[in-house]
Copies of this chain bind each other. A is one copy, B any other.
Amino acid sequence: MADANNQKRVTAGMLVIGDEILSGRTKDKNIGTVADFCADLNIELCEVRVIADEIDEIVDALNALRKKFTYVFTTGGIGPTHDDITADGVAKAFGVALKVDDRAIKMMQDRFTDYPMNEGRLRMARIPDGGELIPNTVSGAPGIHIGNVYVMAGVPKIMQGMLEAIAPKLETGIEVFSASCDSQVGESSLSEPLAALQNSYPTVKIGSYPQMGSDKYVTQIVLRSADKPLLDEATQKVRDIIAAATKNKLKI
């Protein structure tokens, strides 16, 4: 994809697969990690879905996301037990067979010296036809790369290792610059001039975030743009807006 300036836009969706997140039993840490990872590579994370370990849910969500975005990152559901059905869902979504893969067995046995391939481990060695392996330095069982989809483990440490493994292979987007300005004035008092500023600088994305601290109220204004001079210009205007509002002693 290319925008008006012929600069590349690389997008991503994320699919978190796991009953344990929806039940509240496990608190997800992977969304934030993937968001940071994408930001570092100038990949625009556009949507995240969290769904249950249900085959039809996985197929529907994966097909929706992989059509919409450059990449899809999934986490969870690739362990050895009966409730780990992500690989089944991925194979079904792509309409390909799911088979025990010799490369996966070799990867697992290379990682552990004494590693008999019982049923659970064979389950983790199942790779959809046409899929490539993502190395897992933590516990051996691979992730899967197929089409524009990267299938990773749900355990954060393993997932992070897999992200590092795939990073060099990903196409990265345009460089996006950001700036932020803190204000002791509440965002209600800034909203009118900020909206006007956003209208004047449509290619600079301006976000406003209240920071509820224990002793004072601070608003952070964050600006993002691929156009550095324009970003600097808009940032100075935000500083001017904050200074004027502060001078007016407007407080929330």
B23 touches A27 (CB 8 A): no
A66-85 contact mask (Cβ, 8 Å, vs B): 1 or 0: 00000000000001111110
A185 to chain B, nearest CB (A): 11
Q: Which residue of B lies closest to A193 (CB)?
A: B119
* A218 part of interface (Cβ distance < 8 Å): no
Does B49 lie within 8 Å of A47, measured CB to CB? Answer: yes
Interface presence of A19 (CB below 8 A)? yes
Which residues of chain A in 108-147 are interfacial with respect to chain B, using CB atoms and an 8 Å cutoff?
A: 118-121, 123-124, 138-139
* Contact pick for A205, options B19, B31, B32, B121, CB 8 Å: B19
Of residues A121, A138, A208, which shows the largest number of chain B Cβ atoms within 10 Å of its Cβ?
A: A208
Within 8 Å by CB of A83, from B119, B207, B210, lies B207
Copies of this chain, count: 2
- What's the minimum C-beta distance from A77 to chain B, rounded to whole angstroms? 11
Give A161 Cβ to nearest chain B Cβ, in Å.
Answer: 12
**Which chain B positions have C-beta within 8 A of A119?**
191-192
Bound-state Cα–Cα, A127 to B137, Å: 52
Chain A positions 30-52 with a Cβ under 8 Å from a chain B Cβ = 31-32, 35-39, 44-52
Q: Which residues of A contact B (CB under 8 A)?
A: 16, 19-28, 31-32, 35-39, 44-53, 57, 79-84, 118-121, 123-124, 138-139, 155, 157, 187-192, 194-195, 198, 205-210, 212, 222, 224
Known: A22-B35, A189-B118. A208 touches B83 (CB 8 A): yes
Q: How far is the CB of A65 from chain B (nearest CB, A)?
A: 10
On whether the beta carbons of A80 and B187 are closer than 8 Å, the reply is yes
Interface of chain A, main secondary structure: mixed
Q: Known contacts A119-B192, A155-B212, A212-B157; is A83 also within 8 Å of B206 by CB?
A: yes
Task: Quote the shortest CB–CB distance from A13 to chain B (angstroms).
Answer: 10
User: A188-B118, A192-B120, A208-B81 are known contacts. Are A22 and B45 too (CB-CB below 8 A)?
Assistant: yes
Residues of B within 8 A of A39 (CB): 23-24
Query: What residues of B have a CB within 8 angstroms of the CB of A83 in the complex?
Result: 198, 206-208
Q: Kindly provide the distance from the CB of A228 to the nearest chain B CB, expressed in whole angstroms.
A: 18
Q: Which residues of B contact A189 (CB under 8 A)?
A: 118, 120
